[in-house]
Amino acid sequence: MNYHKVSFLASYGLLKQIPPSSKIEIAFAGRSNVGKSSLINKLFNRKGLARVSAVPGKTATINFYDLDDTVHIVDLPGYGYAKVAKTEKVRWAELIEGYLNDESRSMELVVLLVDSRHPATRLDIDMIDYLIETEKPFIIALTKMDKLNKTERQNRLSSIADEIPCGGDITIVPFSAETGEGVEALREIIEEIASY
């Protein structure tokens, strides 16, 4: 797989705008500001591919990227940003759920991003419950690992599995867009899915 062959395809703000597709899709989901866009940029070595912002709620659309004509990468809007208007929250929730519930698509993996600096939030746990209930394949990327010191890191890695439902059975990848930790692990997982 050529990770440099990545290109932006399209952004959609409404579910009905998303065209049907039979391509393998890997979706990235997580709380607003958790580092989804940064992770995507790091994974594909392209600084400006996905818009990064210190202001939460930047990605308000579903964004599709093509990876080497093989897999479509799907950047979902971040959930749980308090300052967004209720109507916007409803629209985002509809987009995320509507996309994930669309059985006609070949969505092969959800990479759920969880901030390593805090315990998983209620919304993270709701999302994990939803993914388990609907039998979606998913893994967790623990983001911003560079912000933890050695002790915090050890504590985080040992407690995360106890905080989340079925924690012991879920693949957890520590990740940092700063240091590149976790990039290889995620790429290997993507390669495996792409080679089905």
What are the residues binding ligand GTP (CB under 6 A)? Answer: 30, 32-38, 52-54, 56-59, 78, 143-144, 146-147, 176-178
Torsion angle of C-alpha atoms 1, 139, 57, 47, degrees rounded to 10: -30
72 binds, among ligand GTP, Mg ion, none (CB under 5 to 8 A by kind): none
User: Shortest distance, CB of residue 28 to Mg ion, whole angstroms?
Assistant: 9
Q: Which is nearer to ligand GTP, 84 or 109 (CB)?
A: 84
Question: Which of 33, 41, 59, 63 forms a contact with Mg ion (CB under 5 A)?
Answer: 59
176 binds, among ligand GTP, Mg ion, none (CB under 5 to 8 A by kind): ligand GTP
**Structure tokens belonging to residue 12:** 């959609």
User: Shortest distance, CB of residue 64 to Mg ion, whole angstroms?
Assistant: 14
Q: Which helix (H) or strand (E) holds 186?
A: helix 183-194
Distance CA 128, CA 146 (A): 24
Q: Which of 33, 58, 42 is nearest to 6 (CA)?
A: 42
Angle between helices 183-194 and 36-43 (to 10 degrees): 70
Q: Which is nearer to Mg ion, 36 or 144 (CB)?
A: 36
Binding site for Mg ion (CB under 5 A): 36-37, 58-59
